Structure 1
Amino acid sequence: MSQPVASREAAYRIALAARALEGLEVRALVNALAEKLELPITESKLSRLTVEDLREILAGDHADENCTVGVSPEALKETVRILWGQDVAGSDKPTPEAYQEGDMPGSIRVAIAANRGENLDGHFGSCENFLIYQLSPTEIRLVDVRSGLDADAAEDRNAARAAVINDCQIVYLQSIGGPAAAKVVRAGVHPLKKPKGGAAREVLGELQGALLNPPPWLARIMGIAPGSLARYAEALDAEEA
């Protein structure tokens, strides 16, 4: 599988940044960023860029000479903000909601393999992002968006991608190979294939409906007794009381 040059969101930000730099060629900026950040260029890598980093990238071979690169400090700052994704209109990357541990008692954490927006439209080994949701019987909350491409430089890409979502109980994806599934399971995550994909919140809505009376596989993930066994446990507790 060939390595992508940049995630779709990163490429969009770079195009806007090039426009902000008074018509700098997108290809030239991509090449300069690739040399600085290494491929693939992802949103998380762009978010670590500083104004000085950008000045050095634009200065190229003259960076050590404190070159002014013909761009005002204000324009450099604005371009860095664009590369960070701040106030970028037209972006299809969803924005996480605020979340603290304990906000949603009885919830589970679910990852969605995604490429565009809030959709299940990705394969485990190639998706650009993992959308991370906290799911309870009454609420679906997007709490994080994590890059899948950042893990692709690792020697064991499948293990690295599994580590990205190892705080989740479940991951939904369109497809996953056997060796990759084994790495995901070893990380403590239950993979669920949904080849047709769909809107992430619709997929999660189907799972949400099962949380109050979970089937055995889901009850095991949630760490509770299956609904079919719970009534017997309650009866036993009543007898002992």
Structure 2
Amino acid sequence: MTDARPKALSIFVTGTDTGVGKTLVSTALLHALAKHHARVVGMKPVAAGTELINGVQANEDVLALRAAATCSVPPELDNPVLLPDPVSPHIAAARAGVQIDIGHLVACQRALTTLADAVVVEGAGGFLVPLSATETGADLAQALDLPVLLVVGLRLGCLNHALLTAEAIRARGLTLAGWVANHVDASMLAQEDNIAFLRQKLQAPLLATIPYQSTPDPRALTFNLPQTWQ
């Protein structure tokens, strides 16, 4: 008998750079989606950088995504590649003697869609972060073929970074489904002017605005979810 359950919603989260709040946004999105979907899970296909947590080498982003999920999945699916060194994935993989296989990452994501109703996939670094000498995070996003949520870290230079990333996303034939403005620099001048400019130029809906916080709570963030995500 054919499984009549609708295919799970799945979203790819990328950022204008590293350190712009992708994990915060991904976990907040999981909490928002959980109001509409019973089983939500996060995925970090490639995580670079571990530390000793409760006696085990772990990545804090992966743990945050798991904590925000409403169901448990095999760790080899929600984090297929875990690399020790906190450097670019292609360097971390080479140091660890690991070859990142995009086909395998896609297979893991597809498997998650059979176990959950909504899957949030958090990319590593920026959109074009190298995964190997020949492939980037953009190649992974293209292979996954998911709607993309762009996290814009509001700091000097973000307009250029946001427009270039949006252009790169669309050049891959992907849909920029929305973006999030994250105030990562409290001292940045003209923040609202920057948001107004991006509202006009990104040609995608602003789904959330995150105020600057020293210890942000992803449960407290408000998302304006597209109807198709509810």
Greater relative contact order (Cα 8 A, min sep 6): structure 1 or 2? Answer: 2
Give the TM-score, by structure 1 length: 0.28
**TM (normalized to structure 2)?**
0.29
Which structure features the higher share of helix residues? 1
Question: Rg: which structure is higher?
Answer: 1
